[in-house]
Amino acid sequence: MIGTLLGKRYKILEQLGGGGMAVVYKGQDTLLNRLVTIKVLRSEFTSDEDFVSRFRREAQAVARLSHPNIVSIYDVGEENETYYLVMEFVDGDNLKNLIRKQGTVPVLQALEFAGQICDALEHAHENGIVHRDIKPHNILITRSGRAKLTDFGIARESTAATMTQTDAIVGSVHYLSPEQARGEMAGPTSDLYSLGVVLYEMVTGVLPFHGDTPVSIALKHIQTSPVPPSSLNPAVSPDVDKVIGRAMAKKPGDRYQTAGEMRAGLNVLQNGWTADVTRVIGRDEFATRLMSVGKELTWVKKVKKRSYKWLWAVLIMLILFGGAFAALQLYLNVPEVSVPQVEGKTEVDARNILKSYSLERISVSYANHPTVLKDRVISQEPPAGNKVKATRPVALVVSLGPDYRTVPDVVGLTEAEARLLIGRNEFVVSEPVQQDYSSEYAAGMVMAQEPRPKTQAAKGSKIAITVSKGPPPVTHTVPDLTGLTIEKAREELSKIKLVLSDEISKIPSRDYLPGQVVKQEPKPKAEVQEGTVVRITVSDGPGPAKRLARIEALIPADRNDHELKIVVKDVRGSTVAHVDTYSSGERVFKEVPYYGKATIQVFIDNKLAGEQTFG
């Protein structure tokens, strides 16, 4: 569809990707001169009228949403049974690819991304729209670090039969809420469950549930509790565990009930507080109590006996308060240090550098990485440059080196099929995709790849593919059409499979007769591809004036009859002006017309007897 103009406005520039239900293209809004994203519904869904009508209604509903963390829908249309959505173009990448590249997302950044998606869901839920397909593939991260939610409502329309057609759709089972896994209706808390799974994957680099089949994964969502994220990544605090655990509660009633409530929980973590900061004091504690007169008199009597038990109690309280105050001062007076940059350092060097800055509490986790060398630090938390207390723990993620995978064979597949297979094997396509001519592979098919199939390459590394543009073009030399009529010019071009343009210009000319070709583009002798359109300009008159030339011819005196032929070569081309048979020794006089400059030739018995130039 590259080059197609939809709705007489949206031009498709290149394919960005595709899923089980739609193909996504980068396009241009020719009216407003801006880039857009165009999602085209796959042809197998266009024949289902009920599906198409629900798709259109859903798209129109989402088009009403307006939020900085939601990819805006500009237009929805249909042309020649092609149904499409026109959306905001986001210059960035999806969150899934970000996780693949980095291994894990730093905890604070992950909390920020999740918070922004909460903002998007709060806006959608308030407008009665439930996303139903929250996953990192549907979260775009701009170059400035803003998270934007996309693909609203389309996954909702997929049937059980659709769920088994492509890995792109089946992959969503990793993020399904328990109620969705049971086939029940999804609500706002279902989106929050899926967001909890996404947050789990961001901070650990892995999904909470795995299985051999989609059914086995769905059952784990229903029955199994995930491993706490902190056990997989020491940088994850117990408080982060609690937020993820609440979002992923099996029962909808045990989860956050609104996206705003979950956003508030994330804000608490980002601000460095826990949920137990404020302690409510019971009404009976330290309350003023009224004592009976009898008891008060008894207490006076004991004082008169000089009991010193109360003095010991006061001393103990003073000691305890003094110790607490000293501990508080010790905590508050811990010096602040600027966290050094240790990313890219070896683990040993990183530890030594941190300790030289008085940062002694260091935890280390290990993960594969496609580009960071083994034993080198992939990421650190807190990031370099942050001001922290010297007692603040520092979490490092150290590379185990690349996780090598077998490169799939994508030669002979379409570009869309190749992208899906490369992604399924946890590689990425090198952009931009190269194109070349091929006599062996049809246009749109992958003709070459690097690395080669069946070799080993690091998980997440790039695979370069070359897509065929079809057979090499055939070239021809443009003939000289000057002086030809329009029909004669069309005939000459068709002989070498060139095309005469229907747009023919006219200009006044005294050198060429009306209707004759005066000039052409491309010019004569230019090398062009087969099928090239040639534009011509013809004379609109008046053309050269008609003139007469007096021709004298002497027939050979040999007692035989002879044929006399007079040929005129002028602006009209080559014209036989006269032909007849004459007796031996006869002298013939003829007047022949010509236009412009002309060469007149005399033939006797088809042999040139003489020629003369006129004009």
Known catalytic residues?
133
Angle at the Cα of 475 (from 474 to 481), degrees rounded to 5?
A: 135
Angle at the Cα of 484 (from 482 to 485), degrees rounded to 5?
A: 135
Please give the Cα distance from 193 to 200 (Å, whole number). Answer: 11
Contact criterion met (CB below 8 Å) for 465 and 408 = no
Contact criterion met (CB below 8 Å) for 421 and 410 = yes
Contact criterion met (CB below 8 Å) for 267 and 245 = no
Beta bridge partners of 563: 581
- State the amino acid at position 121 in one-letter form: L
- State the amino acid at position 246 in one-letter form: R
How long a stretch of residues is the chain?
615
- Looking up tokens 């609104």 gives 258
Please give the Cα distance from 383 to 235 (Å, whole number). Answer: 12
Contact criterion met (CB below 8 Å) for 571 and 599 = no
Contact criterion met (CB below 8 Å) for 469 and 505 = no
The secondary structure of residue 117, as a DSSP letter, is H
Sign of CA dihedral 247, 248, 250, 252: positive
Please give the Cα distance from 321 to 253 (Å, whole number). Answer: 43
Plot region of 241 (φ>0 → left; ψ -120 to 50 → alpha; else → beta):
alpha
Please give the Cα distance from 374 to 346 (Å, whole number). Answer: 9
Please give the Cα distance from 603 to 600 (Å, whole number). Answer: 10
Beta carbons within 8 Å of 595's beta carbon, 6+ residues apart: 513, 543, 544, 545, 546, 547, 570, 571, 572
Pairing of strands 562-570, 573-582: antiparallel
Please give the Cα distance from 542 to 528 (Å, whole number). Answer: 33
DSSP track, 242-306: HHHHHHT-SSGGGS-SSHHHHHHHHHHHHTT--TTSS-PPPTTTT------HHHHHHHHHHHHTT
DSSP track, 146-212: -EEE---STGGG--TTGGGT-HHHHGGGGG--HHHHTTPPP-HHHHHHHHHHHHHHHHHSS-S---S
Beta bridge partners of 26: 14, 37
332 three-class SS: helix
